[in-house]
């Protein structure tokens, strides 16, 4: 073999060009939907929630969620006057079939719908070892199921218990904020089917979205703010006992 | 130059390394999806894959393009802001092919109770009934029209 230093030097630019080509790939363009123009979130107006289970049923129908697993569910809280730090929480079948009469109608009773909080600093995406879960440029935490190994790191990392392993595909699954709907200008299945308007999809990057006025004028909280996840599901008038 | 008399070894070694790097680059180009790293440490086309799913719920805007009469009935009633599919179920197939895909008839005795059955955890301002006492098993649409449920006197109709 007769390779000289000169040959080597000539090869380097060629290798550089090849490397650049490999990194570039082909960009995908979605018509009429600009990723950079949106930052999705959800508002949950708790005083309006009647615990009917429409959101849970709609989510399961829209997203083919297997029975016994939930991308969204409803919890019923019962808070006693004398023990406000220890609420009794039940969620029979995720609230899918509604709720039986309260065992103890005294004290405080209310519903809290839950779903993925689409955290801006999400612990679940940080632990994924293979780049299967990520925060999309429009602020939705998603799972690429063709990349997911089913290692369950993300399931235990989520402080809100919003992920599960789909028993059919053996990959991590979660609320996609109905990504296939919101990118087409529709609202999510749960918001579409909420009869009282307790759930509202909101776009924080849209200055005309009523969410901005609402956040300014109401006492709104997120779940577990101490976890510093920058959750984007906002709960209006949430009781302090909610975990 | 006498100290470099066996420098051919070094060039052979460099060639082996270069070959290795070349094989690595080729294998990497074949295995890593084109869109990986487009937006971050993930496959960019996963976004288009997820967005490509068909929707099962058509959305009330789609319903209202044909069923303007129902919208008229609803607009002054208490159910004005309840979207169609909240009661009628997912109707995207019906919207695509209204002729052959018909929505199922609803049993108001079951349907209405899903929201209006009394429960201590529901907001006090929300209209609730204990269905067993309220209607003694009769379906709700005996008295209430679901699209505008307030009962109006016969004369006012």
Is beta strand A233-236 parallel, antiparallel or unpaired with respect to A40-45? parallel
For A169, phi then psi, to 5°, come to -95, -15
Contact of B110 with chain A, judged by CB distance below 8 Å, is answered with: no
Summarised one tens digit per residue, pLDDT across range B38-51 is: 999 999 999 999 99
The model scores a pTM over 0.80: yes
Contact of A13 with chain B, judged by CB distance below 8 Å, is answered with: no
Give the pLDDT confidence score for residue A110 in this predicted structure.
96
Summarised one tens digit per residue, pLDDT across range B97-150 is: 998 888 999 999 899 999 999 999 999 999 999 988 998 888 999 999 999 999
CA distance A13 to chain B (A): 13
From B42, B60, B114, residue closest to A144, measured CB to CB? B42
Could you report the predicted ipTM of this complex, rounded to two decimals? 0.86
**Which residue on chain A is closest to B7 by alpha carbon?**
A4
Contact of A99 with chain B, judged by CB distance below 8 Å, is answered with: yes
CA distance linking residue B98 with residue B102, whole number of Å:
7
From A109, A132, A192, residue closest to B85, measured CB to CB? A192
CA distance linking residue A33 with residue B62, whole number of Å:
19
Summarised one tens digit per residue, pLDDT across range B66-110 is: 999 999 999 999 999 999 999 999 999 999 999 888 899 999 989
- Give the closest residue to B113 by CA, choosing from A74, A189, A54: A54
CA distance A201 to chain B (A): 14
Which residues of chain B have a CB within 8 Å of the CB of A116? none
CB contacts < 8 Å between A and B, how many?
166
Mean pLDDT value across residues A132-157 = 96
Summarised one tens digit per residue, pLDDT across range B2-42 is: 567 788 889 999 999 999 999 999 999 999 999 999 999 99
Q: b vs e for A142-167, b when ≥16 Cβ sit within 10 Å of the residue's Cβ?
A: bbbbebbeeeebbbebbbbebbbbbe
Token reading at B103: 């929505």
Mean pLDDT value across residues A36-41 = 96
Q: B85 vs A62, A164, B60, B81, CA distance in Å? A: 12, 27, 7, 12
Judge: A25–B40 Cβ closer than 8 Å, yes or no. no
Mean pLDDT value across residues A151-161 = 97
Mean pLDDT value across residues A136-151 = 96
CA distance A216 to chain B (A): 24
- Give the closest residue to B121 by CA, choosing from A160, A170, A175, A47: A47
For B24, phi then psi, to 5°, come to -60, -45
pLDDT level of residue A29 (50, 70, 90 thresholds) = very low
Give the pLDDT confidence score for residue B137 in this predicted structure.
80
CA distance linking residue A219 with residue A235, whole number of Å:
9
């Amino acid at each position: 073999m007769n390779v000289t230093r000169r040959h080597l030097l000539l090869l380097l630019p060629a290798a550089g060009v090849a490397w650049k080509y490999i990194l570039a790939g082909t960009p995908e363009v979605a018509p009429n939907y600009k990723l950079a123009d949106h930052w999705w979130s959800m508002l949950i107006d708790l005083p309006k929630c009647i615990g009917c289970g429409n959101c849970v049923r709609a989510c399961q129908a829209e997203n083919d969620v297997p029975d016994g697993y939930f991308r969204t569910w409803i919890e019923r809280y019962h808070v006693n006057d004398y023990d406000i730090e220890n609420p009794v929480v039940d969620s029979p079948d995720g609230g899918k079939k509604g709720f039986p009469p309260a065992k103890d109608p005294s004290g405080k009773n209310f519903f809290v719908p839950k779903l993925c909080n689409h955290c801006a600093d999400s612990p679940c995406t940080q632990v994924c070892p293979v780049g299967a879960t990520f925060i999309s440029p429009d602020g939705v935490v998603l799972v690429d199921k063709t990349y997911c190994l089913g290692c369950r790191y993300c399931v235990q990392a989520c402080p809100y218990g919003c992920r599960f392993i789909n028993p059919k595909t053996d990959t991590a699954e979660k609320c996609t904020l109905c990504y296939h709907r919101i990118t087409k200008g529709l609202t999510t299945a749960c918001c579409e089917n909420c009869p009282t308007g307790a759930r509202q999809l909101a776009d924080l990057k849209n200055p005309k979205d009523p969410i901005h006025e609402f956040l300014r004028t109401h006492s709104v909280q997120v779940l577990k703010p101490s976890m510093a996840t920058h959750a984007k599901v906002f709960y209006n008038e949430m009781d302090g006992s909610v975990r | 130059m006498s100290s470099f008399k066996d420098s051919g070894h070094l060039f052979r070694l460099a060639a082996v390394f270069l070959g290795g790097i070349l094989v690595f680059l080729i294998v990497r180009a074949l295995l890593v999806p084109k869109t990986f790293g487009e937006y971050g440490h993930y496959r960019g086309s996963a976004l288009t894959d997820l967005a490509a799913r068909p929707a099962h719920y058509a959305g009330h805007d789609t319903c209202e393009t044909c069923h303007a009469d129902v919208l008229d009935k609803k607009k002054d009633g208490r159910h004005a802001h309840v979207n169609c599919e909240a009661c009628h179920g997912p109707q995207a197939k019906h919207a695509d092919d209204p002729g052959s895909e018909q929505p199922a008839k609803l049993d108001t005795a079951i349907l209405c109770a899903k929201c209006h059955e009394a429960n201590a955890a529901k907001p006090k301002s929300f209209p609730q009934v204990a269905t067993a006492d309220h209607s003694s098993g009769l379906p709700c649409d005996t008295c209430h029209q679901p699209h505008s449920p307030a009962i109006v006197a016969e004369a006012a109709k």
